[in-house]
Amino acid sequence: MARQKRKTYLSGKGYARYKDSNKYVHRQAAKKKIGRSLHSDEVVHHRDGDKLNNNPNNLQVMSRRDHNRLHFKEMENVGCSAVLFLSTIISIVLVLILILPLF
Ligand SMILES: [Zn+2]
């Protein structure tokens, strides 16, 4: 399988685009993977979060809605661990404040 290497450049959003057509490399790769063109409400998700990893295995075509939901969940998880971290710190400080006067 001979694959010609087309020239690409990095777009402002961090995605690779073909120099000749200005098309996004990941959208072209996803089209090839699913064998049809993408609908306007479909987006291509990079599973590993690397916008430049356009390996077909790393690309997932999903609706804009599902995609937003997916990333919202990720943000929620980050938020949860931040709250958990803060509450742990606060409880340690509280315990120290309560215990220290005893010594
Ligand atoms: Zn995504």
Condensed to tens digits (0 to 9), the pLDDT of residues 21-75 reads 999 999 999 999 999 999 999 999 999 999 999 999 999 999 999 999 998 888 7
DSSP string, 22-63: --BHHHHHHHHHHTSPPPTTEEEEETTS-TT---GGGEEEEE
Report the pLDDT averaged over residues 4-10: 88
Domains and CATH numbers, the chain: 8-102 (3.90.75)
Q: Quote the ligand 1 centre to 53 CA distance (angstroms).
A: 12
Phi first, then psi: what are they for 94, rounded to 5°?
-60, -45
In this prediction, residue 78 carries a pLDDT of 76
CA 67 / ligand 1 centre spacing (Å): 6
pLDDT at 93 over 90: yes
Q: Is the Cβ–Cβ distance between 19 and 8 less than 8 Å?
A: yes
Expressed in angstroms and rounded, the spacing between residue 57 Cα and the centre of ligand 1 is 14
